[in-house]
Structure 1
Amino acid sequence: MTTSDTAVPEPTPEQAALFARVRRMMLIAGLTTALAICAVLIAVGYRLFKSEGRAPEAVFDAIAILPKGAKIVSSGVAGDRLVITIEVGGITEIRTFDAHTLKPTGKLKFANEP
């Protein structure tokens, strides 16, 4: 026997079971970490590719002509639409505009039954 040869005793059955359990726990931890890293990379890639097709935000100056005597009652945003509620001569009207282009997309009038 030389000095580089060292005798390593065989592990006892309890030690072998402990080693197997530690290996299994390390495998589970490694797979969980790999799954988390993949999820983050997929999320980042999705955001990058999704934002590529979008046009850069532009600044718009627009003038919407309201009927004479009209009063804006409320305004809001619903999805990609700008919603303006106006009152014209006692009749309530809702006008919608595309939030990106500010082009009119619809008009809804409310009137009382005669």
Structure 2
Amino acid sequence: MTEAALPEPTPEQAALFVRVRRMMLIAGLTTALAISAVLIAIGYRLFRTEGSANAPDIAAIMPKGGRIISTAVAGDRLVVTIDVGGTVEIRTFDAHTLKAAGSLRFVNEP
């Protein structure tokens, strides 16, 4: 059997092979760096703890005769609008801990 004889590359071809290998190495390292950055970002988002894992059970006391008109979320706050006998009150709670953050009562002038 005869083997196909491969001619030796010329010096220009050898230089071209070296440059192509170097460019492939740079592209491979850049891709590996990008993939590792994405995996680190995903891992950080999954494993950081901000209290979202265990939601606390809280009972908020409503005024007698009060009823909830609306609820909303504004940033890190839970906003509850309550009607108490014609008086409107807005109560805000921290969305992560459900602790009271403040209240605002609207009353009519006498």
Structure-2-length-normalised TM-score: 0.66
The one-letter code sitting in structure 1 at the alignment partner of 2:71 is S
Q: CA deviation at 1:54?
A: 4.1
Give the corresponding residue for 1:11.
10
Give the corresponding residue for 2:57.
60
**What does the per-residue CA deviation read over 1:43-87, in whole Å, with 9 as the maximum and x for residues that have no partner?**
244235523x7474145151x232233221101223332210112
Q: How does 1:34-45 map to 2 (within 5 A)?
A: 34-45=32-43
Q: Take 2:42 and 2:15, find their aligned partners in 1: how far apart are those partners?
A: 41
Contact 2:52 2:96 in 1 (8 A): no
The one-letter code sitting in structure 2 at the alignment partner of 1:16 is A
The one-letter code sitting in structure 2 at the alignment partner of 1:11 is T
The one-letter code sitting in structure 1 at the alignment partner of 2:70 is S
Q: CA deviation at 1:34?
A: 1.9
C-alpha RMSD over aligned residues: 3.2
Gaps of 5+ in 1: 1-5
Percent identity between matched residues is: 66
Q: CA deviation at 1:10?
A: 4.7
**Structure 1 residues 110, 61: closer, same or farther in 2, change over 3 A?**
closer
Contact 2:56 2:97 in 1 (8 A): no
Q: CA deviation at 1:21?
A: 3.8
